[in-house]
Structures are given as C-alpha cells and as structure tokens.
C-alpha cells in the first residue's frame, strides 16, 4: 500500500508538469482559439535555453530561468503574429497545421544542434527526501506540485477577476463584438500566447532534470498535456489540472505494477476517448461554424495522360541512377500513404494524425506473415492491407462524436499509444534487429531493393497508379459526394439523408487500407524491418506533405512525397550539399507554413489553375470541354406527386438548460397544404424546425409523419421518411457544384456504391424531380458553378431547389424569402403553391415576409416565446389582436396592418 501511494505521489508530480503545460495550452486557446501543437516544442526550446545558461554557462537558477522563459514568450508571440493571426479565419485543419509546421521547424532546429542524444540536466530544486505519513518523496517533486497548484489558483483569479481576464473572455466569446468594446483581439491573443508559452517553458524546464533533455521529449509532454487540456474543454483550469494529475498518477501506477508493457502511453488516449465520446455530439449544434477546408479537385481522369505518364515513369526508372531510384521509391511509397490523407482529410474533412501508425500496423502484419509464417509477399501485402481496415474503423469511431482539433488530438494520442505498445515492443517486433523479411518477389519477379531496386520502384509506381485511380473514381462517385457533403456541412448532409456515420467510417477505413499499403511499401524497402523507426509523430509530417501538395488532389501526394527524407527532395538537396538531409525537417516545416500562408490549396491546385489558363488560351474547343455544361434530362411533364404523408407535432417542447424555448406546439401539415409558422425574432420557429427534423431533442411531445413516430429518430432517418428542410444560413455544400449539391439529395443511397465507386463511379444524372426543381428556378445555367460563384439570391433559390430535389412528403422552409428580390419573392409564392397543389407536398413555411405568408398559406400558426398564440386561416390570424400586439410590442386596434418585417 505504501509503495502504491509512493508511486501515486510521484505520478502526481509528473502529472503536475503535464498540467502546467496544459494550462499554457488553455491560455493560448482562450486568447486565440487555437490548439497549439507546437506548445511543447516551444517549451522544450526554452528548456534547452535554460540548459545552455544554467548547466553550460553556470548561471544561477533565476538568471537562467528568466531569459529561458522569455525566449518561449518571444517564440509564442512570433508564432501568433507571424502565422496564427493571418490564419485566424482558416479551418481548424489549417490552424493545426500552422502549429505543426512550427513544431517541425523547432524540432528540426533542435535536432540539428543536439542530435538525438539525451542530456542530463541538474536540478536546482532541493531533492532531500521528505517523509509524509511514512511515504518518502523528494522535496523537488512536492515543490513542483505546490507550484502548479499555486499557478492554477493564480490563473483562475487572473482570468476571472482582472480586466485582462475579462478582455480575454470577451475575445473568446466573440472577436468582433470585443473589438467594438475597445479590446484589441490581436494584442490580447499575443499576450495570451506569451503567458501560455512561458508556462510551457516552465513545465519543460522542471521536467528536464527528471527525464533528461531530449528533442523527442515533445511526445512525453505534448500528448498528455493536450489530453489534459482537451478534458478541461480548453477552458477550465481546475479540470485541466485534475486531468493532468490523473494521467500522471495512473501512468506511474501502471509503470510500477504492469511494467512489462508501456501501458502508461495509452492513458492519455483512453482518457480523451472516454471524455470526448461522452461529451461529443453526433451532429454539430446550430452555432457550429463550418470553415472551408482546402480545395478539392474534380477527380476527373484523362486516361491518355495517365497512361503516358505511368509508362514514362517506368521507362525513366530503368535509366535513373540508383540513388535516384531509391528516392523515387521513397517519394512514391510516401505518396501512397499521403493518398490516404486525401481520402480522410481531403474528401472526408476529418483530421487524422494516425495515418503513419495505420501504415505501420499494415507493415507489421505483412512483415510477421512473411517472417514468421513464410507467406509470400503478395498474400502478406493483401492481408496487411485488409488488417488495417478494422483498425481504421476504430480510429474513425471518435470522429462520430467529435471533430476538428479534438479529433487530431485523439488520433495523435492513439498513434503514440500504438507506437509504445506495438512498435517499441521487442517481443512483438524483434526490437533493434527487426523482422527479417528477406528478399521478396511477386509472381516470380524479384522486388528486393538491393539487387532489383528498379523493379521495386516500378511496383510502387503501379501501386500508386492503382490507388490514385481508385481515389479519383471515389471523388466522382456517389460515395465521394457523400464524403464531400459531410466535409462541407455535416448538418446539411444529415438533413439531406446522408448517413454521416457510414461516410466517416468509410473514409477512415479506405484511408487505413491505403495508408497500410503505403506503410508496407515503405517498410519492405529493407530486408529487415525495424519497427522502432515508425514514429507516431511522423503522421504530422505526412499531413503537412499532403497539404503542401494539395490535400484535395490525387496528384498532390506525389508532390508532397518529395519532401519525405530519402525522397527526391533529398536527391535534389544532395546535388548542392549532403548536409541538406539534416535540414529537410526544417525546410519541410517552413514550406508547410509558407503554403498555408500563401496557397492553402496546395501546389497542385496552383498548377491546375495554371494549366487551366493554358488550356483556355489553347482554344475555345478545349475550353468547352473543361466547362462542359451539365445536360438536364428531357423535360418530364409528369413529374410525379410525392408520397402523401401528414406531419403532426403533438405538444412539442424544447428546453435549453432551464429555458423553455418551445412550449407544447401542436400543429399539422397535410399533403397539399402550405402552413405558415410566424412569430417575432427569437420566438422559437427555427427551434421548432430543428425539433421536427431531429437537430434538437424535444424535452416533451411527439413528431409524427404519417403513421411513423419520428420523435427519437436521427435527422437522416427523418429525411428518409420524407422530411426535407432548408436552413436559414442556406448551408449549401460549398465545395461541390450546384449539380453535385442536387445529386447528394436525389441519388439512391445504396451501400454498394461504397465499393463500386472505387472502380466504376458511373455517369451521374439528375432525377426528374431534381431536374424539375432546376427548371423551376431557372438554375440550369448555374449547375456547373459552386455556390460561392452565385449571387445571394440565386444561392437561396439553389438551397430551396436542393430541398425539393429530395422529393419529400413535407418540406420545411426556414425564411426562404430573406434576401430575395421582389420578383424572386413573387416567383417563390407561385412555387409554394405549385409544390402543394401540383406535387402534393406539405409545406411548412417560416417567414418574416408576412405578405408572402398571407398570400401563399392555407393556415398560419403564430408563436411568441415558444407558445402558440393564434392559429387559423391567414385572414383570421391577420386580425388577431394578440399577435399584432406581440409583433408591434403594444396593444393596437384590429384594423392595424401588420408590418412587413
């Protein structure tokens, strides 16, 4: 028992340092809404600075400590102003990568100077043993614990009670409003980066005497600190400290009682997994802001170009010097791994920092099958690729309830755990000696890289071509459109009936299989695979390479793969100096940062545009081919009536916290009926639509469509049952053309397309209902355009057309006339009647344009503060005094016309 307590206390001390570093992350996040993945790197840079001054130049503790943490502050401020400020409106992916670029540069710079050696650092804190209740612990550990608790209390006070803290909270709440109040968001962000970075430095300086100073110390500090900060919601100081202490204590106990395996490395992963799964939500809330990810290509294949390039590559490989063939192998094999990022992040919009580890798992399975079971390379490769599939699904599971930076944290933590438990486990991998796979061959062709590197390089090129074609096919097929819909807007995707769960898990599983193939190709370059070399943090580089090349483009990975050490980048660098190899991590990090600042869509996007311009200049016939107009199916005069179903809400109530926003709403929308739902701002109209379509759970009441009780169904099932909705903010899929937007809602939801599309995506065609919607709104000229290329009015019409294209029994329109011209509003009125009278749809219309409501609705329900105040024909409602009073805020006579709001 005493031993257990002793380890708990020791663990608490290490945990206190995680907590200290995590507190810094929380501060940075509060000030700038950025999760800083370079946080530990900045801290470790400070620790090296401290070491130089204190241990090498023998300055007293504080004379070394103060400049060291000031160095961290300067680094933090430079990162904020030089990189994060320009990226402040970018997607979480881009912001994460910005900090990861900084991490690569700092780590690369430290590795240049200090290599991989571990430096012993002397402690300035008193280390005499202190005995507490029979347990003896070093005084330095207790002091650290005390320091962290004091810092947490001070921070809590600073951020709750001082003007600086209030200003930071105001900026965190809303940058624009804070600026109106006179706060400078940038100055506040800079100050928080400085304070947060100083805490990172303090934590690293205090940790160095315990663990020794090493550039790889980042893992030791970064992952647990990230985990603690995420558990504290990047806001709460006490919860963050508690989580850090918990991680430290559990790790210490596991290290004592289960030390055969490094279970401690898995603690941050397990903790974050449990917390995020419990806390997350399937569909993001209404306030979720979708920031655009880098651009996605069309996936269009030019077969002649592909064949010519592949043949050319294979021919060139036969004559290249051997050093360059090795470079080609590394570049192309890494390219295969990066293709997995194109699927998961480029198409699926999910940030995964586990791709290298997934590749490593595939390589491990294949390697063991060859070495231990004597299986041939071919079958081992197939089984290795298949083995990654279930692991990919496991990695993808958290993505069902969390997204963005949180997902990046959890996938990184997963990678670190697998690295420690599998790749660093000598019994499982063969340790330093590795796994002997010998000289491999396939169908009698020798593929070893010692005597037959050109064959292996050719095999890598073929593997890339096959995967690249599959990924391009995926982009053009139904499955790809589902992924892009989820990436662009999860809420709208769910409302369109897309199974977001299936789409995400599909992206992760296909990504895992491709990553696994890449991992196998990289591992089997050697006749002895040393799994120690597979590092979880390398996924960070791979994600960076992907964005550098163009994360949405199939050709991007080949450009990104050049940066991989040992690839073409090394070959090119060696032409100038062999030392370039050492600088590659720094160059890679700097290039990534530059790409993010200047061209987030990647090199290939830039080139594609350049080529596009060239094609434009080359002749109009080529231009015609590029912007081939989408052909609508012939007009079908008999667009069928929809399946008639009546929507009923029974005593529907919604409560947020203690506030009841919707209070027992009962209404009915029958087939062929247009029903208006009106009320002043904040009355609860959108909440009613959200509750009917499954985006918020009602606290009481029922939602029925025909005979089906939909009250507990997710949005997708309600869409399948026959409900479609438009959103106030339109929520179109911005990365897709209008044609693709319409396809997402109207094409069949077959599961088979998840497999078929990889090989044969087919030619997409609009359904008669979608084509009719396009004609109705005169959108045929806009079909090949993306929503951003349309005027606001046309975007609105496009959003309504998309909802109609799903052929719903009942359509719910949330302020469809907002921003429309008078002419367009008149057309909308005509359309609403057409949908009800000719197509038999039930229409629920939320609108502030009272004239439109009165002219087009059969019945109108008015709500105020979530409660129905009147319901009846437009004429009855128009003359209701209570409603007029609610709208105008004062009692009036019945003859007063309601204002057109």
Residue number with CB closer to ligand ATP (720 or 868): 868
Q: Work out the number of other CB atoms within 10 angstroms of the CB of residue 637.
A: 6
Shortest distance, CB of residue 654 to ligand ATP, whole angstroms? 8
Indicate the Cα dihedral angle 657, 661, 666, 670, nearest 10°: -110
- Strand, coil or helix: 322: helix
Q: Is residue 816 close enough to count as binding ligand ATP by CB under 6 A?
A: no
**Closer residue to ligand ATP (CB): 213 or 661:** 661
Nearer to ligand ATP, 493 or 864 (CB): 864
Among the residue ranges 266-274, 545-553, 680-688, 794-802, the one whose residues contact ligand ATP (CB under 6 A): 680-688
Say which DSSP state 419 is in: I
Q: To the nearest whole angstrom, how small is the minimum distance from the Cβ of residue 866 to ligand ATP?
A: 7
Question: 269 to 298, contacts with ligand ATP by CB under 6 A?
Answer: 285-286
CB nearer ligand ATP, residue 742 or residue 862: 862
Q: Which of 439, 451, 656, 792 binds ligand ATP (CB under 6 A)?
A: 656
CA distances to 107, 237, 704 from 477, in Å: 41, 47, 34
Q: How far is the CB of 687 from ligand ATP (least distance, A)?
A: 3
Q: How far is the CB of 217 from ligand ATP (least distance, A)?
A: 42
Tell me whether residue 302 is exposed, middle or buried, using C-beta atoms within 10 angstroms of its C-beta: 0 to 12, 13 to 18, 19 or more: exposed
Nearest to 232 by CA among 406, 400, 398: 406
Q: For residues 685 and 795, which CB has a smaller minimum distance to ligand ATP in the complex?
A: 685
**Which residue number, 272 or 689, has a Cβ lying nearer to ligand ATP?**
689
Residue in 209, 232, 497, 684 binding ligand ATP, rule: CB under 6 A: 684
Q: Which of 543, 870 has the CB closer to ligand ATP?
A: 870
160 to 199: interface string for ligand ATP, x by CB under 6 A = ----------------------------------------
Tell me how far CA of residue 850 lies from CA of 397, 672, 739, 857, in angstroms. Answer: 46, 21, 32, 10
- Least separation in angstroms between residue 728's CB and ligand ATP is 6
Binding residue for ligand ATP, selected from 138, 392, 679, 694, defined by CB under 6 A: 679
Residues in binding contact with ligand ATP, number by CB under 6 A: 12
Q: Is residue 498 at the binding interface for ligand ATP, with CB under 6 A as the rule? A: no
Cβ proximity to ligand ATP: between 847 and 880 the closer is: 847
B/e letters for 685-708, b = 16+ CB within 10 Å, e = fewer, are bbbbbbbbbbbbebeebebbbbee
Kind of pairing between the strands at 435-436 and 674-678: unpaired
Stretch touching ligand ATP by CB under 6 A, among 167-175, 320-328, 452-460, 683-691? 683-691
What whole-number distance in Å separates Cα of residue 415 and Cα of residue 383? 21
Contact 548, 602 (CB under 8 A): yes
- Which of 192, 221, 223 shows the shortest CA–CA distance to 205? 221
Integer angstrom CA distances of residue 22 from 107, 150, 701: 19, 15, 43
Question: Which residue number, 681 or 748, has a Cβ lying nearer to ligand ATP?
Answer: 681
Cα–Cα distance measured from residue 261 to residue 675, given in angstroms and rounded to the nearest whole number: 65
Q: Taking contact as CB under 6 A, which single stretch among the options 4-12, 212-220, 344-352, 685-693 is the one that binds ligand ATP?
A: 685-693
CA 602, CA 595: separation in Å to the nearest integer? 7
Exposure class string for 155-184: b at 16+ Cβ within 10 A, else e: bbeebeeeebbebbebbbeebeebeeeebe
Residue appearing with tokens 């755990």: 417
State in angstroms the smallest separation of the CB of 284 from ligand ATP. 11
Helix (H, G, I), strand (E, B) or coil at 121: coil
Identified binder of ligand ATP from the candidate list 481, 605, 685, 725, rule CB under 6 A? 685
* Shortest distance, position 883 Cβ to ligand ATP, whole Å: 14
Residues 6+ apart with CB under 8 A from 463: 332, 333, 336, 517, 521
Within 10 A of 451 (CB to CB), how many other CB atoms are there? 10
- Residue 687 binds ligand ATP (CB under 6 A): yes
DSSP class of residue 119? B
Tell the smallest beta-carbon distance from residue 795 to ligand ATP (Å).
Answer: 18
Taking CB under 6 A as the criterion, the residue among 682, 697, 760, 821 binding ligand ATP is 682
**Residue entry with tokens 């964005």:** 547
- Give the shortest CB-383-to-ligand ATP separation in angstroms: 47
Residue pair 198/213 in contact (Cβ under 8 Å)? The answer is no
Which helix (H) or strand (E) segment holds residue 827: the answer is: helix 822-837
Q: Record the tokens describing residue 74, joined without a space.
A: 């300067």
Please, which of residues 341-400 interact with ligand ATP by CB under 6 A?
A: none
Task: Give the nearest distance from C-beta 484 to ligand ATP in angstroms.
Answer: 27
**Residue placing its CB nearer to ligand ATP in the complex, 687 or 859:** 687
Contact code string over 599-638 relative to ligand ATP, x by CB under 6 A = ----------------------------------------
Among 313, 410, 513, 661, binds ligand ATP (CB under 6 A): 661
**Secondary structure of residue 640 in the 3-state scheme:** coil
* Smallest distance, ligand ATP to C-beta of residue 698, A: 13
Q: Look at strands 859-864 and 867-872 and give their pairing.
A: antiparallel
Shortest Cβ distance from residue 290 to ligand ATP (Å)?
Answer: 16
Decide whether 8 or 811 has the Cβ nearer to ligand ATP: 811
Query: Would you call 306 helix, strand, or coil by DSSP?
Result: helix
- Which of 25, 416, 683, 730 is close enough to bind ligand ATP by CB under 6 A? 683
Nearest to ligand ATP of 702, 848 (CB atom) = 848
Judged by CB, which is closer to ligand ATP: 523, or 683? 683
Q: Cβ of residue 814: shortest distance to ligand ATP, in angstroms? A: 8
Q: At what angle do helices 568-576 and 322-341 cross, to 10 degrees?
A: 140
Tell me the Cα Rg of the chain: 30
Stretch that binds ligand ATP, among 382-390, 427-435, 678-686, 798-806 (CB under 6 A): 678-686
Contact 223, 416 (CB under 8 A): yes
Q: Which stretch binds ligand ATP (CB under 6 A): 4-12, 343-351, 543-551, 677-685?
A: 677-685
**Given 352, 509, 686, 713, the residue binding ligand ATP (CB under 6 A):** 686
Q: Which helix (H) or strand (E) covers residue 825, if one does?
A: helix 822-837
In degrees, to the nearest 5, what angle opens at C-alpha 24 toward C-alphas 122 and 114?
40
User: CB-wise, 565 or 680, nearer to ligand ATP?
Assistant: 680
Tell me whether residue 656 or residue 751 sits nearer to ligand ATP (CB atom).
656
Give the interface segment with ligand ATP, choosing from 214-222, 599-607, 631-639, 676-684 (CB under 6 A): 676-684
For ligand ATP, which is the closer residue by CB, 782 or 849?
849
Task: Return d(Cα 557, Cα 550) in angstroms, integer.
Answer: 7
Length of the chain: 901
**Residue 47 to residues 23, 193, 199, 330, Cα–Cα distance (Å):** 17, 17, 11, 34
Contact residues for 307 (Cβ-Cβ < 8 A; gap 6+): none
Report the residue number, 395 or 677, with the smaller CB distance to ligand ATP.
Answer: 677
Query: Which segment (13-21, 151-159, 374-382, 675-683) binds ligand ATP by CB under 6 A?
Result: 675-683
Relative to beta strand 810-814, strand 723-725 is parallel
Nearer to ligand ATP, 574 or 666 (CB): 666
Which positions touch ligand ATP (CB under 6 A)? 285-286, 656, 661, 679, 681-687
């Amino acid at each position: 028992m005493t031993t257990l307590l002793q380890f708990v206390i020791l663990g608490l001390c290490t945990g206190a340092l995680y907590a200290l570093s995590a507190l810094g992350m929380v501060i940075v996040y509060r000030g700038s809404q950025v999760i800083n993945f370079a946080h530990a790197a900045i801290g470790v840079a400070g620790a090296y600075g401290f070491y130089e001054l204190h241990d090498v130049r023998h300055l007293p503790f504080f004379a070394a400590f103060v400049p060291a943490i000031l160095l961290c502050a300067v680094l933090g401020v430079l990162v904020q102003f030089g990189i994060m400020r320009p990226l402040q409106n970018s997607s979480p992916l881009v912001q994460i990568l910005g900090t990861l670029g900084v991490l690569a540069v700092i780590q690369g710079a430290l590795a240049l100077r200090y290599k991989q050696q571990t430096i012993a650092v002397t402690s300035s804190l008193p280390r005499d043993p202190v005995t507490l209740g029979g347990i003896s612990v070093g005084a330095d550990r207790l002091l650290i614990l005390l320091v962290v608790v004091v810092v947490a209390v001070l921070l809590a006070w600073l951020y709750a009670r001082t003007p600086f803290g209030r200003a930071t909270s105001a900026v965190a709440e809303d940058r624009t409003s804070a600026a109106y109040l006179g706060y400078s968001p940038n100055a506040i962000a800079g100050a928080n980066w400085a304070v947060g970075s100083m805490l990172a430095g303090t934590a690293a300086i205090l940790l160095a005497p315990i663990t020794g100073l090493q550039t790889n110390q980042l893992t030791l500090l970064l992952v647990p600190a990230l985990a603690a900060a995420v558990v504290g919601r990047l806001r709460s100081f006490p919860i963050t400290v508690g989580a850090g202490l918990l991680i430290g204590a559990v790790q210490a106990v596991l290290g004592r009682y289960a030390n055969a395996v490094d279970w401690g490395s898995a603690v941050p992963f397990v903790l974050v997994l449990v917390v995020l799964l419990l806390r997350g939500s399937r569909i993001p809330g209404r306030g979720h802001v979708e920031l655009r990810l880098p651009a996605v290509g069309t996936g269009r294949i030019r077969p002649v170009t592909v064949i010519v390039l592949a043949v050319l590559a294979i021919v060139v490989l036969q004559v290249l010097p051997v050093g360059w063939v090795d470079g080609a192998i590394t570049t192309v094999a890494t390219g295969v791994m990066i293709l997995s990022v194109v699927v998961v992040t480029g198409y699926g919009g999910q940030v995964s920092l586990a791709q290298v580890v997934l590749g490593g798992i595939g390589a491990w399975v294949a390697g063991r099958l060859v070495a231990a079971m004597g299986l041939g390379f071919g079958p081992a490769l197939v089984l290795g690729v298949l083995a990654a599939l279930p692991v990919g699904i496991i990695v993808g599971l958290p993505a069902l309830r969390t997204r963005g930076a949180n997902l990046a944290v959890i996938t990184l933590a997963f990678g670190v755990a697998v690295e420690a438990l599998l790749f660093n486990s000598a019994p499982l991998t063969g340790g330093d000696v590795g796994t002997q796979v010998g000289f491999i061959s396939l169908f009698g062709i020798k593929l070893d890289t010692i005597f037959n590197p050109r064959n292996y390089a050719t095999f890598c090129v073929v593997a890339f071509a096959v995967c690249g074609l599959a990924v391009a096919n995926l982009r053009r097929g139904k499955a790809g459109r589902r992924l892009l819909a989820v990436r662009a807007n999860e809420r709208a995707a769910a409302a369109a009936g897309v199974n977001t769960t299936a789409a995400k898990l599909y992206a992760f599983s296909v990504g895992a299989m491709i990553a696994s193939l890449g991992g196998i190709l990289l591992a089997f370059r050697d006749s002895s695979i040393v799994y120690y070399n597979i590092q979880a943090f390398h996924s960070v580089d791979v994600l960076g390479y992907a964005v550098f090349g163009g994360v949405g483009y199939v050709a991007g990975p080949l450009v990104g793969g050049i940066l991989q050490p040992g690839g073409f980048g090394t070959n090119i660098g060696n032409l100038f100096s062999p030392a370039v190899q050492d600088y590659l991590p720094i160059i890679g990090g700097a290039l990534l940062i530059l790409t993010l600042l200047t061209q987030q869509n990647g090199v290939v996007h830039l080139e594609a545009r350049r080529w596009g311009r060239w094609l434009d200049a080359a002749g109009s016939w080529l231009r015609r081919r590029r912007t081939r107009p989408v052909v609508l199916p012939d007009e079908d005069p008999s667009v069928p009536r929809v399946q008639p179903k009546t929507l009923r809400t029974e005593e529907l109530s919604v409560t947020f916290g203690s506030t009841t926003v919707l209070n027992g709403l009962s209404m009915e929308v029958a087939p062929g009926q247009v029903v208006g739902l009106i009320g002043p701002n904040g009355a609860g109209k959108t909440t009613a639509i959200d509750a009917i379509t499954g985006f918020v759970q009602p606290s009481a009441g029922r939602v029925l469509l025909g005979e089906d009780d939909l009250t507990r169904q997710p949005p997708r099932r309600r869409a399948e049952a026959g409900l479609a909705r438009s959103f106030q903010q339109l929520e179109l899929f911005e990365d897709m053309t209008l044609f693709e937007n319409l396809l997402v809602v109207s094409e069949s939801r077959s599961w088979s397309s998840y497999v078929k599309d990889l090989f044969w995506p087919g030619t997409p065609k609009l359904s008669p209902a979608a084509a009719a919607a396009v004609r109705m709104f005169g959108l045929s000229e806009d079909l090949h355009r993306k929503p951003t290329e349309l005027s606001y009015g046309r975007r609105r019409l496009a959003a309504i057309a998309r909802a109609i294209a799903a052929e719903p029994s009942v359509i719910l329109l949330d302020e469809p006339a907002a921003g429309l011209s008078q002419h367009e509003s008149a057309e909308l009125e005509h359309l609403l009647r057409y949908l009800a009278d000719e197509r038999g749809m039930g229409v629920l219309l939320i609108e502030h344009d009272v004239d439109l409501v009165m002219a087009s609705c059969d019945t109108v329900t008015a709500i105020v503060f979530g409660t129905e105040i009147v319901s009846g024909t437009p004429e009855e409602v128009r003359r209701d005094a209570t409603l007029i009073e609610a709208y105008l805020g004062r009692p009036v006579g019945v003859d007063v016309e309601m204002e057109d709001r």
